[in-house]
Amino acid sequence: MDTFEAVRTRRSIRRFQERPVEEEKLHTLLDAVRMSPSWSNRQCWRFIVVKGKNLRERISELSYVESFFSTRGYKVNPAKKGLSEAPVVIVACADPSQSGDIWAQQYYMTDIGIASQTLMLSARALGLGTVFVGVFDEAKLREELGIPGDIRVVGLFPVGYPLEEKKDGPPRKPLSEIVFHEKWG
C-alpha cells in the first residue's frame, strides 16, 4: 500500500477482533513511529505498550471524562469499547521540557501529533486499525501507569485487527474552503 492509499483509506477504527497483533508487526509499527520528525530532533515522546487485559479495561474506563462528555451529550467516549477490546493499547506520552517552547507555542503537542499520524498511517499499511483517543482522565492514567507528573499523556491508541472494513468516515471540508492563494481569505 503506498502513502496516498494509506492516507485515503485510513479511518478511525473503534471495534477490534480478538486476534492478537503479531510481535513483528508491532515492532514494525513502533519502529516507523520512531522515525518521525520532531523539534530539533529531540524525540520528546515515550510510548507505553499495554497488553494486559485488566490494564486495558482500566484505561478504557478512564476514557470517559464527565466534565467534557456530559455537556456534549455523550454517555461514553466513542472509543471506550475499542480500548478494552484491542489486544494492544499504545499510550503516547511527551516530556515538554525536551521539546521546543517558543513564542507561546509548546511543540511537544506537534511532535506527538506527527508521531501519531505516523502510527495511524503505518497501522493502516500493516492491515491494522487504530484511533487517536485524546480525551481521558490524565491524572488517574498517570497514577495507573506510574507516569511521572512532569510527563504529559497526549493520546491513547487501541491497536488491533479491525472488526470490519470502514469505507466511509466523516466528510472533509472542500479544498476551496481550506486553501487560500497568495493571501488569507
Site residues (vs ligand FMN, CB under 6 A): 11-12, 14, 77-79, 131-135, 169-170
CB of 179 to ligand FMN, least distance (A): 19
Q: Which residue is nearest to ligand FMN (CB)?
A: 134
Q: Are 82 and 13 in contact (CB under 8 A)?
A: yes
Q: Is the dihedral of CA 146, 149, 150, 152 positive or negative?
A: positive
With cell 469505507, the residue in question is: 167
CB of 19 to ligand FMN, least distance (A): 21
| CA pair distance 185, 48, nearest whole angstrom | 42
Residue whose CB is less far from ligand FMN, 52 or 169: 169
Residue 13 or 151 with smaller CB distance to ligand FMN: 13
Query: Residue 31, Cβ neighbours under 10 Å: how many?
Result: 10
- Provide the minimum distance between the beta carbon of 24 and ligand FMN in the complex, in angstroms, as a whole number: 26
Which CB, 8 or 27, lies closer to ligand FMN? Answer: 8
Closer of 11 and 42 to ligand FMN (Cβ) = 11
Minimum Å gap between C-beta 143 and ligand FMN is 20
**Least separation in angstroms between CB 105 and ligand FMN:** 17
User: Looking at beta carbons only, is 142 or 166 nearer to ligand FMN?
Assistant: 166
Tell which residue, 79, 83, 87, has the closest CA to residue 26. Answer: 87
In sequence order, what DSSP letters do the residues of 48-77 get, joined into one string?
Answer: EEE--HHHHHHHHHTT--HHHHGGGT-SS-
Q: Which helix H or strand E contains 123, and what residues bound it?
A: helix 108-125
